[in-house]
């Protein structure tokens, strides 16, 4: 079953800006799906249309096989949204925000209170239940947005840059939380600018650029497209000259750091053997950039070049 099916979705804003040029997308039930793209690519417009915050120009959107043009109420009852910007009422304490949100989904106050308590405890906000949002830290506000989106227990959770501006420790806690709810059966669509986050969490990925989907595949397939990877090697002692390594391309960053480009088909073991034969001992190794990041930049650059040729 599809959690989300988008067919030929187009959006032209009143000022004439064409945000979506007929995108189609399928997200299967249970997926952890990444929707990536640069700023202004059309990610938030797509999410806005799915959640009824933006009017579409044309195209079709189905949420769990329900056409939003036919029965938007049923479709909306199955979606939870974590928006990009904080959008709380300044007057309402944390607990009340959750109770009210549940109420908008038709959940009575007794049940809403129980759910608010559960999610606030789960996201470590229970102690702050009487606090108003402006007195919360950035990380707490992000967690509150997630709790608010979950209080009606949606089957499809859409997160628009949920970890923007969040410190790494909290980000990791949130990743684990999202993994857990995905394993419990909640389909998740995530947009993020942290590509390692998408690589770590998502099984499927779509990349949108200038209103077009330029890639829609599994994370594994996408990463297989990577032709070369750059590794940073830290070596013991000081290098006097760049070692001779045959087909391998090496660059010297400083006297004890090398950058090695490994083309698809080349072996890292063979490189280590060559270095070892020259008495160069590798102490540590890491990717220069995230693998997905390298691919992403290539895809976006190619897409931009194509469109600039066309125009």
Based on CB atoms, which residue is closest to another protein, 69 or 255? Answer: 69
Binding to another protein by residue 48, rule CB under 8 A? yes
Q: Which is nearer to another protein, 94 or 219 (CB)?
A: 94
Structure tokens at 109: 């106050």
Output the DSSP codes for 168-224: HHHHHHHHHHHHHHHHTT-EEEEE-S-HHHHHHH-SEEEEEETTEEEEEEEHHHHHH
Q: Which of 108, 269, 284, 308 binds another protein (CB under 8 A)?
A: 108
Sheet order of strands, 282-287 included: 249-254, 257-263, 228-235, 282-287
Residue with Cβ nearer another protein (142 or 204): 142
Q: How many Cβ atoms are within 10 Å of 253's Cβ, its own excluded?
A: 12
DSSP state of 225: T
In whole angstroms, the minimum distance from the beta carbon of 3 to another protein comes to 16
Q: Which of 5, 27, 61, 79: binder of another protein (CB under 8 A)?
A: 79
Which of 6, 23, 34, 51 touches another protein by CB under 8 A?
A: 51
One of 128, 148, 171, 204 touching another protein (CB under 8 A): 148
Instruction: Check residue 100 for interaction with another protein (CB under 8 A).
Output: yes
Closest CA to 57 of 211, 180, 183, 200: 211
In the complex with another protein, the residue whose CB is nearer, 72 or 126, is: 72
Q: Does 162 bind another protein (CB under 8 A)?
A: no
Helices (H), the chain: 43-50, 72-77, 94-104, 109-122, 138-150, 168-183, 195-201, 219-224, 268-277, 291-310
**Which of 1, 39, 70, 85: binder of another protein (CB under 8 A)?**
85
Q: Does 55 bind another protein (CB under 8 A)?
A: yes
We find the least distance from the C-beta atom of residue 138 to another protein, in angstroms, to be 16
Distance (Å) of CA 43 to CA 56, 97, 159, 226, 289: 13, 26, 11, 24, 24
Residues that bind another protein (CB under 8 A): 13, 45, 48, 51-55, 72-74, 76-77, 79, 81, 83, 85-92, 96, 99-101, 103-109, 148, 152
């Amino acid at each position: 079953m599809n959690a989300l099916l988008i067919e030929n979705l187009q959006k032209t804003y009143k000022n004439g800006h064409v945000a979506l040029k007929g995108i189609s997308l399928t997200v299967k039930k249970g997926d952890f799906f990444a929707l990536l793209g640069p700023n202004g690519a059309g990610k938030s417009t797509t999410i806005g249309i799915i959640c009824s915050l933006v009017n579409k120009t044309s195209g079709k959107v189905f949420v769990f096989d329900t056409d939003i043009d036919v029965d938007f109420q049923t479709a909306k009852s199955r979606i939870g949204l974590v928006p990009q910007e904080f959008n709380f009422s300044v007057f309402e304490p944390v607990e009340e925000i959750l109770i009210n949100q549940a109420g908008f989904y038709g959940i009575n106050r007794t049940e809403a209170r129980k759910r608010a308590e559960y999610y606030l405890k789960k996201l470590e906000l229970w102690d702050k239940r009487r606090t108003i949002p402006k007195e919360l830290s950035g990380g707490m506000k992000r967690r509150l947005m997630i709790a608010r989106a979950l209080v009606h227990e949606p089957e499809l959770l859409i997160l628009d840059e949920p970890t923007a501006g969040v410190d790494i420790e909290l980000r990791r806690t949130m990743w684990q939380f999202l993994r857990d709810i995905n394993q419990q059966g909640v389909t998740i669509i995530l947009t993020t600018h942290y590509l390692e986050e998408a690589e770590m969490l998502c099984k499927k990925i779509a990349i949108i650029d200038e209103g077009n989907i330029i890639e829609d595949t599994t994370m594994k397939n996408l990463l297989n497209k990577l032709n070369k990877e750059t590794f940073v090697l830290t070596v013991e002692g000081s290098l006097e000259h760049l070692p001779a390594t045959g087909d391998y391309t090496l660059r010297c960053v400083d006297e004890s750091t090398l950058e090695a480009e490994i083309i698809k088909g080349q072996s890292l073991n063979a490189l280590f053997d060559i270095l070892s034969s020259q008495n160069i001992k590798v102490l540590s190794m890491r990717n220069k950039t995230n693998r997905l990041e390298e691919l992403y930049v290539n895809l976006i650059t190619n897409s931009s070049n194509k469109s600039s040729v066309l125009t």
